[in-house]
Structure formats: C-alpha cells, structure tokens
Structure 1
C-alpha cells in the first residue's frame, strides 16, 4: 500500500518532469521489500537515481533510533545498508538523514569515514538548544568538517530565504507518505493516492520554476554555493534530539513517554540491549575460534541474520509517537530472534569446545570456561539520597567494589510521572554523547536555551557532581535521563505508564574520578560480559 499509493506516484511525476530534482530518504530494509514485491517500482527508482534526478539519502538498514545505541550498531547498519544498495544497483548520496531526523553532534565521528559529508537538521531541533529566527537561517553551516543544511519550519515553507546573493526556498521536509495522499499510512483504509494532492504538487513546483528557481538536490546545492565562495557559519553545539523537539521532548518520546496503554518504551529499549549483548558475544566468539578446527562459515551466516534482527529491533516506531500493538510486538519479536540466533551460535561453539559454561568478554574478546558463578555482592545501606516521584519503591543497595554500588529500584507507577530524581550540584554535567560513548563531554547548562532536556545515555553515564556518577544499566532501565535546569535535578521518570506495570530498575553509583566511572559504564553497557 505504501509503495503503490505514495512512492510510485511520486516517482511517476518525477519521471515525467526530468528537471525536477529531489532527495528521497530510504533505508535498506525498504529496498529489500521493493526488490521482493515491487521490482517495477525499484526499477523506476534506479532509473531516477542513475540519471541523478533523485538523490538517494540512505543512512541505516532499519529505521533505528540510532542515538539510543552505541556507535558500533550504526556502523554495522551502514555496512549492511550499503551492501543492499550495491546489490540492487543503487548509489547512495553523501547526505546523512535518518529516521525522525535523529541527530547527535558526535555523528561527525562516524559519517566521514562512511562517505557522508553533509547532514540535514531541522530548525525546530536546533532552536530548542539555541534560539534562532527562522527568517535568519543561513544556507549552510559547519560542524567540525561536516556541512550542515538546516531546513525552515513548516510555516516557512515557500517563503524565500536570502543570504549573500543566495536565494533559496524549501517546500517539503517531512515524511514522504502524505505528499500525494489524503491521510498518512496509519489510516489504512483512507491511505490513498489522490490526484488533488498530486496536482497541487505540480502547480507548486511549476510555479517555482517560473519564478526562476531550480529544483535541486541537497548535495548540488551545497557544492554550488561552496564553489562560489560561500563560507558557512560555525554551528553552535546542539545535543541529541529529533526533528520536533517541543512535541517529542528530544528522545523522551521513544524512551519513557507512554502514549498508549500497550506501550512498553523502557522495557523494549532495555530488551534490545540484552539481545545486543548476545549478538556481540556471538560475534566475538566466532572471531575467537575462526582460525581453529571449527568451521565458522554457517555460524557467520547466522550472525549476519542476528545483526539484521537486532537492527530491526532497534527501530524507533515500536516506542514512538503512537505505536500500534503490532509495532510493539515487532521490536520484541526481532530482539528475541536476534538473541535466539546468537545463542544458537554460542551453544554450537560451546559444544565443539566441550565447555559447559563460558564467559565471553565483548571488550577484550577473551573467552574462558568458568566452573563457578561470580560471588554475590554484599548488601549495604543506600549511599545516595533519591527523591521518589509518583511511587513508593522497594530499594536495595549492594557494594560492588570500592566506591561502586549497585542499586535496585523496583516500583509500580502510582501517578502520571513515576521514577526518581537526584539533585545536581553544579551547572556542568559530564556524560557521553551518542556515538561517542568512549569520551566524556562537559555539558555547560548555562550555554543552552532550554529549560530541560532528555539525553539517551548510550553508555548509561551521567554526573551530578564532579565526583559523583550514575550509570543506568541499560538492560534494566534504558530510559532517557531528564536534566531540569530550573529544579537543578536529574530525573529518570516514566510518563503515563500503566499502573499495573512493574519496573525493576538497576543502576550504579560511582564515587571517584571521571575515568573510573567511564570505564565502568563501558563495561556495563557498551562492551558487556556474558556468561552462558
């Protein structure tokens, strides 16, 4: 339905009007669906890409909320995606845009090595961090060595922008499905192509051409103005977010806000961290035994499937704006399949090695047989003060090692907002930005215009003093952390969660230097150990 009612009519219009160029964002999984079910539509897309009328923007295999997971997952996704594009005779562009326009400034550490040098962001995203008049948007910005093109808000579409002799205008920067349909794809019976919307598009684009505008791709736009000597302005540093910051509150819409009674935001995001651990462990295990007598060819095929399931489990829609029950089930199913395939690999290798129980360290790659399970931690009194929000939790605390405590926080929501908060004692916060989980970033709250912000914390780490750190265990509570500038507090809070749900959260409190806290966060969430 999506293909025949929205994509194909758009491709037909473009084929009829060869001077109309555009960018279309599409993930590798969608290309596979086209190949399997709509080969004639895929051929039309291929023709438009080959004649450089359509610039294919493709940055992941699945519509992932990539800012909620470590960098390795996005790199893996890009590799799988590029392979699919190559197999289908499609060349992607150098433009980076992902599902929901998720963005992190640390993306500069990833996309240059993968052949991207332009990224798209939305005005409402940037304006959340640094107020900017939409009429004063520049044609181009620079973030490190990355070119940034910022779209105007929808209210500014078709209103010309001018800067240094350059005049440009936006018409569409949004989901493609409603472009020529009356309703979006969630209105199944009403999601139909309409000639009214198609004619409207033709009138608008023809009118722009008559006014002297060229309908261009993003990369051509950037190339032309740079060659003419335009010097892009340095972009002020934003944080992680998405394209409608006021409505979605950054990543919180996908990591803590429960819109429907069947939603499982935190549970799903946590489950995908568990399945990720198994996939990483299987990958390390194969690498470890590859040069032995064990034939790994079939295992490597299973691993590729496991990664595909994992990346599909990381899809944003199952915890997004208003997910349907089948979308919620989709992510759970994909995560379980990723874990199942990975466990099959692990058990097959264990059998070959004649090990009953092994420990796999996904950081060092060490594989060793173990005879006894690790000793349990000693129970202690709670080492920090927590402010309980909307619940009466059951709490227990354990000493893991010197100045490192494991805290278990179990509760049922009793109010609209439920969880806990911790006072911040400084305006400077240390955390690791998405895609840069091995580095600490000093966040100066006074440098930003927001009242509060939600951060995904892919390695779980955030400070509340220069010597005190929380590390959420993302397998137990992968929820976005709220920083409230007015209250000067950090919060881990679910909103609208059904009161029958039980949340069994775990997090670590680390007292000491930043390097120790960062190493612990990486061990827990990015490169975990698995005992099977």
Structure 2
C-alpha cells in the first residue's frame, strides 16, 4: 500500500476515534553531551579545565548556531561552580537555556552512584538541585540521563513524582539484557514515562509516518571539542579540526531536512503526530557500558588495585546516610512541636550536600585513585558529623540526654540513658548452606535465629593474594527467578524468570539492591546489612546461587552481616526497611 493510502487510512481511523492525526515525516538529529565535573573527584584544577576547555567551547558553538539544539547533561554541582568561577560562561549558557535552544539535563546534584543507596538519598540530591537552579534562575528539562548512564525501572515512578517525563535509556544496556531485540522503535513506554534508546539510530515507518533519528554525539562531553582527549591528558584543549568536522556534519544533516534539536523536542514531535510507543522487554538496573563493567559490579565489588576500597566507601556512605536521616527526622519532630528550626534546616543543607558529594561514583570505579577514595570518605565523615551535631542541638532543645529516633514513623522518644543492648541470640546451625570461594586465609560463619522466621548471619573472613583473588560468597537459589527491589523502589519487589532475559554476556547478572534484598526462592529472602556489606548481588544464569563477589579485594578482614527471612516477601520487605532504609537509631 502506498504511503498516501496508509496516511488516509490512518487519518480515518484516528478521526473516527476522536484522536488527533496527521501523517508525519519526522527527522531529528540529537546529541547527549554528558559532562562530569567530578571526572577526577576532588581535583579543582581538572574541574576548571573541564569548564574552560570542554564546556565553554560548546556553549560558544551553539551561540554561533542558533538554529541548532542539544542536551547538556551535568550534575547540579557543575552548574553551580560554573556560575561561581566562570560567571561569563554561565551567563552565555543561560542565554541558550532562556531561548530554549538547548536543554539542561540534571538528575543529581553530585555525580552519584545513586543506585547503591535508598531513594531518600536521591531526593536530598534533588532538593539541592532545585535550590541551585532556582537560585541561578534557570529551568531544567524533563529529560533524564545520569552519571554512568545508570538506568532501571525503579526510576520511572521517581521521575513521575519529580516532574521528569523522558529517559535516555542507553542502547548498550538494553542490548546487555536483550541482545536479540535489535530493531529500535521511535520511542517506548517505560513504566509510565517515555524512553528513547540513547545512541541508537531510528529508521522506522508505520501508519503512514516515517521517523528517522540520527545521533551526532552520545559520550563524555569532554571528548567532543578536544578531539577525544580526556581531562587527564596534557593536550586537553580545543581541537579546531574536530570541531570543524562536527559543524560540517550538523550542517549536512540540516541540509537533508533533519532538525538539529533536543531529545525532548523529538519525543514531543512523535506524540503530536500520534506515533505510538513500543514496549521495552524486561531489564535490570545497570549502566551504559555494561559489557566493560559487568554492569554495576565495577563500582560495587570489582577492585583493580590494592588501595581500592569499594565496600568500605559504600558502607561508610550508608552509615553516614543513616545519621543524616535521623537528623532530618528530629528536625521534622521539632517542627511538628512548633519549634523554630530555621537554623537547623540551614545546617542540614550542608549535611546533605556533603553526603551527595560522598556518594560520587568515581571513588569506587572505574579506576579510582587514592585521592578520589579519600574525597568520598572525607565528605561522608563531614555529613555524619554534621548530622550528629544537629541531633545534639535538637537534644538540647528537647532537654533530652538520649533520644531514640524512629526514622520510619518520625517518632522521637526522650530517654534518660542509653538502653541496654538486647541479648544476642544463641548460635544455631545455619538454615542454608553458605560457601566461600577464592583466596581466603581465615573464615567464620555464625548463624542464629533472631525472632520468628528471621535468622542473623555473620560472615567473617580474611582475604589473601589480592592480585589473583576472585572471591565469592554463595547462597543457594532454588528458583530460576530474579526477585529484587529495583533502585529507587525500596518498598516493593519485582520478579522475572531468568528466561525473560537474553543477556549479551551470557551469564552474569549483577544487581545493586540498595535496600539489601534478594530472593532465594521458596519464600526465602536474603538481606545484606548495607552498613557492613554493599557489594552487588550476582544472580548468575545457569548456576543455582546468589553470590556476593569481589574481584581482587585488598588483603584484609571483612565482617559482613545478613538477615535471612523464611516466610515471604511482605515480612522480608519490612525487615529490609528497618535494617537499611528506615533504621531506628539512638543518640
């Protein structure tokens, strides 16, 4: 059938259904310029180089070509620091934003590994972003791309709750989970938000419409104006030849009828034309280069050098966030009593800023240098100390020597002294077989029945021969199903048969599990205490286990704690919430 006939048929169908209709020939060329001011976390000289030599040249480029658009993705911290250190660059960028030529894309204040922590942590980051953009008088777009391309289904509800509507879902990550689904639809419905496979071109026709999408750039934005040089390089500077080639490519596409626009404009054009979204097949949480990183394992257990400290950094951040949550809870308690909390709230903004910076991804991967590791530790310590001081001030207001803070209900109980610790349950035979593999000098596994259908498990071990150590802690899995809580959905579980996936790597399926929970089958759930162990869970295809892996871990003693719940999902979610998301704390 000819296109004109298809168009007429499509129009009649949509007319009879009272829906708008028009045949469209949609041609867009888009780019996602992904900036990371914390490229070398804590190095201010490199931060300045990025603004001067990678950001400012692209701002000037688009000012010189007002008919061309782009998506500039960055952490809120980058825009804040640009305005402070390079106000003339910021003012130029603001011109582009004000005339809606480019979109500002920003999902987090710091370039955080947000999938390793509960949802509330990202909400604090969002608080900082909103304040930053309001103070600077700029508008953020509804498009989402994130540090390391972290993406997962739990982001959809969070996006809807916070005014986002389009996710730039990395093509590599989709291929990682569904390698055979190679045909790109113009866009997708992704659990209630729109999604585009970022980096994947589209050449599609249907119902009389034709859609072509070209990607002109989808990578670290620092590489574009410098001809591929990274901020580490001495020759990190504008490459005039590379920029001329890029300009010519855009000009050629424009001559062919392509709109050089933003991802949001492209999706709007599809919707206005009545193009219907496709549906993505099941995916798990991951990043934009999952073959190279084994998904989020690179940041959550994959050590490269003896000085790396993935688990120490990640658990330290969890310990800090528990104190921060307690500080927020006691501030809210004082407000509910009509107390003046303005000064405490101002201090709290500094606390959540330190926490967001501590959670930067580059301190645990790709290959962090010692200064980046200390950068996270230093800011986590500052966040924890700031939270403790806020709680101390609140105790003085309440006249309470000791407070018990329930971060779930918001209840704050004043006490005269610290409560006596509950007696430890007696050790008992473990209810499941627990095995350790790798280069291990010493090991000890202690199980005890806590209460009802909950077991406490403690695994202490010392690693050795780090340079050749492929360590695994294994628990039996009785079903070929992956049951977990996607990042940013701490209060619910999803389940997929392993047969739902067609993994590109054939085996490894690493899951961050920020609330700590993973299903073992038969109503049994393992919960890692993320304040002691926060490496990723591995649900390997073809092996009936769930494991926690460390590649080349440092030679040292590890002391990991777990809960094992044997009576179903509802109870397991409550235990995980009390342990890792909303703990009760006493100060």
What interval of TM-score do these two structures reach, taking the shorter chain for normalisation? over 0.9
Match of 1:407 among 457, 473, 478: 457
Q: 1:425 and 1:198, CA in 2 relative to 1: closer, same or farther beyond 3 A?
A: same
**Structure 1 partner of 2:406:** 361
User: 1:263 Cα deviation (Å)?
Assistant: 1.3
* Structure 1 runs not aligned, ≥5 long: 154-158
DSSP-derived class of the 2:218 partner:
coil
Counterparts of 2:338 and 2:500 in 1: how far apart (Å)? 58
User: 1:189 Cα deviation (Å)?
Assistant: 2.3
**Structure 2 partner of 1:163:** 205
User: Does structure 2 conserve the Cα–Cα contact (< 8 Å) formed by 1:182 and 1:190?
Assistant: no
Structure with the greater alpha carbon radius of gyration: 2
Counterparts of 1:482 and 1:151 in 2: how far apart (Å)? 26
DSSP-derived class of the 2:317 partner:
helix
The yes-or-no answer on 1:235 pairing with 2:283 is no
User: 1:314 Cα deviation (Å)?
Assistant: 1.4
Following superposition of structure 1 onto structure 2, how do residues 451-470 of structure 1 map, counting pairs within 5 Å? 451-470=507-526
Following superposition of structure 1 onto structure 2, how do residues 300-339 of structure 1 map, counting pairs within 5 Å? 300-339=345-384
Deviates more, 1:321-330 or 1:183-192: 183-192
DSSP-derived class of the 1:219 partner:
helix
User: 1:22 Cα deviation (Å)?
Assistant: 0.7
User: Does structure 2 conserve the Cα–Cα contact (< 8 Å) formed by 1:137 and 1:152?
Assistant: no
Partner deviation per Cα, 1:482-517 (whole Å, 9 max, x = no partner) = 001111211011111122x32111111122122111
Counterparts of 1:458 and 1:191 in 2: how far apart (Å)? 37
The yes-or-no answer on 1:485 pairing with 2:538 is no
User: 1:373 Cα deviation (Å)?
Assistant: 2.4
The yes-or-no answer on 1:75 pairing with 2:123 is yes
Q: 1:117 and 1:294, CA in 2 relative to 1: closer, same or farther beyond 3 A?
A: closer
Following superposition of structure 1 onto structure 2, how do residues 356-395 of structure 1 map, counting pairs within 5 Å? 356-370=401-415, 371=417, 372-383=419-430, 384-390=432-438, 391=440, 392-395=442-445
The yes-or-no answer on 1:214 pairing with 2:214 is no
Aligned residue-pair number = 525
User: 1:67 Cα deviation (Å)?
Assistant: 1.5
Partner deviation per Cα, 1:229-257 (whole Å, 9 max, x = no partner) = 21111122211011111111111111111
Partner deviation per Cα, 1:346-401 (whole Å, 9 max, x = no partner) = 11222333333221110111212343222131231242211111124222233321
Counterparts of 1:85 and 1:321 in 2: how far apart (Å)? 29
Following superposition of structure 1 onto structure 2, how do residues 140-289 of structure 1 map, counting pairs within 5 Å? 140-152=187-199, 161-164=203-206, 165-289=210-334
User: Does structure 2 conserve the Cα–Cα contact (< 8 Å) formed by 1:254 and 1:265?
Assistant: yes
Counterparts of 1:492 and 1:382 in 2: how far apart (Å)? 21
Counterparts of 2:429 and 2:520 in 1: how far apart (Å)? 17
Counterparts of 2:473 and 2:248 in 1: how far apart (Å)? 54
User: 1:168 Cα deviation (Å)?
Assistant: 1.8
Q: 1:422 and 1:107, CA in 2 relative to 1: closer, same or farther beyond 3 A?
A: same
User: Does structure 2 conserve the Cα–Cα contact (< 8 Å) formed by 1:357 and 1:369?
Assistant: yes
Counterparts of 2:235 and 2:445 in 1: how far apart (Å)? 49
The yes-or-no answer on 1:518 pairing with 2:518 is no
DSSP-derived class of the 1:237 partner:
coil
**Structure 2 partner of 1:496:** 552
* Structure 2 runs not aligned, ≥5 long: 1-48
User: Does structure 1 conserve the Cα–Cα contact (< 8 Å) formed by 2:428 and 2:449?
Assistant: no
Following superposition of structure 1 onto structure 2, how do residues 426-465 of structure 1 map, counting pairs within 5 Å? 426-450=479-503, 451-465=507-521
Counterparts of 1:183 and 1:252 in 2: how far apart (Å)? 26
Q: 1:198 and 1:74, CA in 2 relative to 1: closer, same or farther beyond 3 A?
A: same
Partner deviation per Cα, 1:176-211 (whole Å, 9 max, x = no partner) = 001011454441423222212212211221222223
**Structure 2 partner of 1:396:** 446
- TM-score with structure 2 setting the length: 0.86
User: Does structure 1 conserve the Cα–Cα contact (< 8 Å) formed by 2:403 and 2:413?
Assistant: yes
Counterparts of 2:408 and 2:294 in 1: how far apart (Å)? 33
User: 1:452 Cα deviation (Å)?
Assistant: 2.2
**Structure 1 partner of 2:44:** none
Following superposition of structure 1 onto structure 2, how do residues 96-111 of structure 1 map, counting pairs within 5 Å? 96-111=144-159
Counterparts of 1:357 and 1:114 in 2: how far apart (Å)? 36
Counterparts of 2:251 and 2:550 in 1: how far apart (Å)? 48
Match of 1:58 among 80, 85, 106: 106
User: Does structure 2 conserve the Cα–Cα contact (< 8 Å) formed by 1:473 and 1:507?
Assistant: yes
**Structure 2 partner of 1:94:** 142
